[in-house]
Each structure stands twice: as C-alpha cells, then as structure tokens.
Structure 1
C-alpha cells in the first residue's frame, strides 16, 4: 500500500475528470469557467483513466471519487464510472456533482456501478441558491436526490460550504433537511485559494461553533470508516440523517490524510494546496502498471505533514474547480 514518511496509508483516490464547471459559485468561479475547448480536449481519455485507476488499485486504493469541475459535463461519465467499478480492488466508486444533470442521469450512473453520491447544495433557499450558483436549479436537484434514494444508493451526502452572510443563519433549515432523510449533510469550511482571497476574508466561518451546537443538542460523534474522507461525522437518534464537518483550519486536520488527487490532465496532487504538481500522464500510454506504481511510490515520499493554509498559502490551487476539492 502507498505509505508516506509519516506512516499515513493512502487508500482513497480523488480523480478529477474535467476542470470545466457550468455553475458560477461565488467562492470558486464567480465569473464562470476559464477553460476553453482546447483545455477540455486535454482531459484524460478513458484508456488513460483505466490505466491510472488500475495502478492505484494495485497499490491498495479501494475508493475512487470522481470529481471536477463538474464531472457530468463529460459525455462519457457513465463509461468512467463503469471503468472504475470494474477495476479489480476498487470497492467504492463515488461521485461529487453540482447536481445539474442529477435528475436526468442518476439512473444511468447507478446502473454503471455508482456506490456513493455527493451533491453540492450551499443553500436550501431557492433565491439564495440561485444567488450563489447563478442557476435556478434547486428543485430539480432535490428531485434528483430523491431519485438516488429510490434507486437504493445508500451513501448520499449533501455538501454545503459555510459562508458568513450566505448560509450562516440557515442551520435550522439544514438540520430539518436531514431529520427525515437518510442523507448526511456535510458543512465545509470555506478555504482560501489563489483567486478568492478577498471573498475568503469576508466570508470565512469556523465550523467549531456548529460542533459545539451539535454536542449541546446531544449529537454523538461517529468513528470514521476505513476509507472515509476528512469529515467529523455526527448522528442523533431522532434524525434519519447525519451532520459532518470538514474543518481544514482545525488542529491536526492533516494527521489522518488517506487520499491523493489526480487532475483531469494527469497531474498528481500530493495535497490539495501544494506549490508544484507532478505529471504522470506520460506513463499512462501503456497497459504496463509498473512504471505508474514506481512513480507513485517514489512521489509519496515527498508528501509533507500538512498544508500551509494557516500561513495563508494555498499553493498553486487557483480555485477548487481545477482539482475538485
């Protein structure tokens, strides 16, 4: 298994399949995507994805999360899901989406082998949702979530970025949302990136106050699963769903890191917020996995103990659409 010099074991791959996104979220792409047709043409091919996932699986990866940009903008997303699911060793295939095509495509994604679904919904208020994203699509997205549950996808999460003046006064709405739904709501602290410094300074909100609120209302913290992400998860006997907090500015956040990222153009990200990325695309032109495995085993030795967000350094990550968070 891939193990770094701090004895962290990596069983989770976050694979971006495109940088393009059709939403204009204020904290990420307020002016829309900056990717033209030429950049889109450079996205990893199906064969390259198959070879990449196979090499990771041989090194102990058990979970693949498909991200973007917005992955559903790739017309071959069903094929990507199917390839990941068919790879020996891969136990869980997950997808993070803005939900734009969820209602239309969830049946096909499920049939291809999708195990887990994360949908970004930063507000349950229709007007605020449109204000944040630039799209009046909340109702259709909620219909898609309901359909995913009908299909039996039992690992469904809703992601919401915590932001002052946007959704900090809507916690009761979020809690009510999971009261009767077997869905985990994950509240994510706004993160500083290269393009959002002013927005971050105005709207960043710590998740610790929400954890205090949860504990005061008798929510209990779960132990994380083997291949789980970085969220602290809470449950309550009176709620069908749960609450998760992702707090990258909290103490020791990186100590249990278990995930690596590969960009849509084949660059390895040892951390979401690194200064330099290492391309491995040239190694994906053959079905021989060994060169990719050797590359990964050597590269992992250079992973640092933590990001530098506390020093206001987001590395070379311009915005989260370029690698999917």
Structure 2
C-alpha cells in the first residue's frame, strides 16, 4: 500500500465522507477533506495556496500526495436556472485544481458523471463514446472534464453514476426511506436506466487508482468508468430499497418520465461500462444489488434517517 496523502475538495459530500472513513484505519496515510466553506474551488488563489501547502506537508512526511476532486455543483434541476454557479464550480473550479496540481506536480483524480452522455445508447457507454449531455449539469461536467484533461496535469477523469451513502447529504436511497414511512404507495420512473453506486465502493476504487497515480504507475487511459456493476431503473432501485427496509416492494409503482417531468432532462440509458476499469487492472466493483445490501448492513440506521 502506497503511503498516501489525499486532499479531497468537496470532502463533506458522499464520496469525500467515504474516502475519509476508508483512510481512517490506515496510519500510513493522511487525508484532508475540506468542504466548500473551507476550500472554495472557484477561488483560484485559495486553490493554488491550498495545494502547494498540502503538497509540501505530504512530502515532508514522506507521503505521496494526490488530489481527488469530489467538489461539484450537483443540483441537476437547479442548475437549469443557475448555470453561472454550476459553471463556476464544475468548469472553472475543476480547471483551477488542475492548474495547481500541474504546477505542484501532484496527480489529480477528477470525479465526473454519466450525465455527460445523451442516454440514447443501446449498450453500456465506454469512455471514448461520444458525449451528448442534455442538461446544464451534464454540459458543465463535460466541460470540466475537458478542462482537466487539457491542463497538462497528470490527471484522470473517473465517471460514476447514481451515488448514495449514509453521510454527505440527501440521495435517492434516503428519499425512498423517507417516502416509505410517509406514503402507502409511490410512483417511480421505470424508463431511466443506470447503475446505482454505493459511495463506499466508489471510494475504494478511487483510492486504488490514487495509489497507482501517486506511484507514477497510473493507467494509460485518462478517462475511466467506475460504478457498481449491473443496471437498474429507478423503479427497480426503489423496490430494492423497500426490500432492504423490510417493506413491501409492491407499494412502489412504475411510471414514465412523461408522467414525472423535471426541469432538467435525464438520460434514458446511462449505464457505464466497467471494461476500461478492468482493462486497467483495477478491481471491479461488486453488483449494485449486493452493494445496496452491504450499505444497509453497515449504515442502515443512517440510511433510514
């Protein structure tokens, strides 16, 4: 195991919280996971100072530094009316981190999303497939990816999807748990297909890649997909959550996207292929249904709210 020092902007979110938890039992590693109040990635000067200081601290302790950018504007619907703010975080913030990492010679792992794709595919998306985002959120995340990859930093983009965790704010699993307690029945869209991903499993994958990147043995591919394996509609995911809650899954009814319109369009099919991850000799993540059961076994009380 590499002696890592990991800086995680956006560290109060779902992925950042799980990275902190994963590294808590590793005395050979150091993690600093500032939230946006502590490190605003849209402030280029603050970003440059933070990364320079972090790199010096890590190297003085004989640790290999790496930055994992988990900071993002993720309010998909709100972004339609707040494009300026979404762009500041998802594009300008990503570019600032990449520039600072390049200057300090620190590898960067930039977390992105399945929403960079249109959702028109018939098979899981590979990293090299043509993007076609349909929302402000998706467009700004794609522009952020491109800014990172054009920066000349040693950087990798890690796309994921449907992330949930016990900590770090709201998510689909917590929402379903709340609605199970409030409603006798609920309708969930059955024509949007993705890959639900437990943030703890994603954190393990990201840290494996971080160790490779810090040791200068990172994979040749610069864009990788990392999700729990398999696929599910939001309706199927909701029914699985009800099963974990000990509730009757028949209380969840299917509906169409047309019946449940949202301000931002969602991709109908956004399953990400894990082939690039496996081909890079990185450990594949387990099936999504197994991960959901493991999440409730580990953090059931917090997921139930």
TM-score range, shorter chain: 0.3 to 0.5
Provide the TM-score with structure 1 as the length reference. 0.37
Provide the TM-score with structure 2 as the length reference. 0.39
